Structure formats: C-alpha cells, structure tokens
Amino acid sequence: MKHLKYFFLTLGVIIIDQVVKMLVHFNMAMGPAGEISVFGDWFKLHYILNRGMAFGLRFGSDYGKLGLTVFRMLAMVVIGIVLYRMAKKKYHPGLLWSIAAILGGAIGNVIDSIFYGVLLDNAPYDVITPWFHGQVIDMLYLDVWEGYAADWIPIWGGKKVALWPIFNIADAAIFIGVFVILIFQKRFLKK
C-alpha cells in the first residue's frame, strides 16, 4: 500500500488544478480586460480558453479534438499503470513523484476536454457534440517579452508574438515532472 502515496500527489494536482480553473472561470473576465497583475508586469493571471493542445496547436479535421481527447485518455491509463508497476518495483522515488505529477496534469486537462464543453458550455460552436470538445482553461501568464516578430521569421513573421505561452496548473505539473526526469534521469534510472 505504500506505493499508493504517489497517487495522492496525482489527486492533489487534479484538485488544485480544477479549483483554480473554476475560480478563474467564475470570477475573471476573459482576455486582457480581466487580466490581473500578480508580480509586476511579468507574471499575470490572464483567462483564455485553449481549444487544442500545448501552445494552442490543433488537429485539422472535425474529429481532431475528439481524437486528441481519446488519445489523452489512453495515455492517462498507460501512465497510471506504469506508475503503479514502477512503484511496486521500488523505482527511485524522484522518478515516481515526477510521473505522479505528469499523471495529475494529464488528468486535469482531460477533465476539461471531456466535461467543460457541457458543464461550462465552452465547446466551440462548430463541433459535433460538446462532450469531448471542451476547451482547456489557461490562466498563468509569464509575460517575459511581447512584440512583433520580424517579417523574415518563418511562421511567426510579421505577427504579434509572446515569448511565453499562457498555461495552467496541470500544464505546470506536466512540465515540472518531465523537466525533473530529464535533469535527474541518470540518478533515477541506475538499475
């Protein structure tokens, strides 16, 4: 039963992520009008909806979001099984805590995708069903640099660009989990 302690981190990430998303949804105006400065001009709360995946990327078809959500659900199950098996085999605790954070973040964003289209009525108007098409709530904005990219830069040239994306607690948990694994992989995977 000791190996289940890692799932408490997963549960904690999910709860904190969902509470923060609900607070933002019900108490903030969307976009720049509702922006709240937390630490000067570089860290703000900025409520937006993310229709796709990381960095707002989307699949091109009508069923892209549905496919992405189903893929996320399968990945969630696989990560959960891997975490459970690795915990039973007593892998390095740092690796297990990192995977638990990644799992919590994945579940937090899947909840948005599955349910928010119906519960918060935030599915795009052109989708076939609001189920599995909910938009993820993002709110943490590190405003390091914002400006226009030079015309010669591929893809972003001539467009307004922000150096850092707007993200949420689930995204942060995933990023931190992956970052810690990458930094300490030699120590975590000695066996």
Lateral strand order in the sheet of 166-167: 36-39, 43-50, 136-142, 166-167
Strands 136-142 and 160-162, how do they pair?
Answer: unpaired
Residue 138 annotated as catalytic: yes
Alpha carbons 104 and 36: distance in angstroms, whole number: 26
CA distance 69 to 113: 6
- Among the options 17, 112, 138, 143, which is catalytic? 138
For residue 80, the 8-state DSSP code is: H
In contact, 168 and 17? CB cutoff 8 Å: yes
Residue pair 137/169 in contact by the 8 Å Cβ criterion: no
Q: Tell me how far the alpha carbon of residue 165 is from its chain's centroid.
A: 11
Is 171 catalytic? The answer is yes
Of the residues 17, 62, 143, 171, which is catalytic?
A: 171
CA distance 113 to 100: 20
Residue 112 vs residues 13, 35, 150: alpha-carbon distances, Å: 14, 21, 35
Residues belonging to the active site: 138, 171
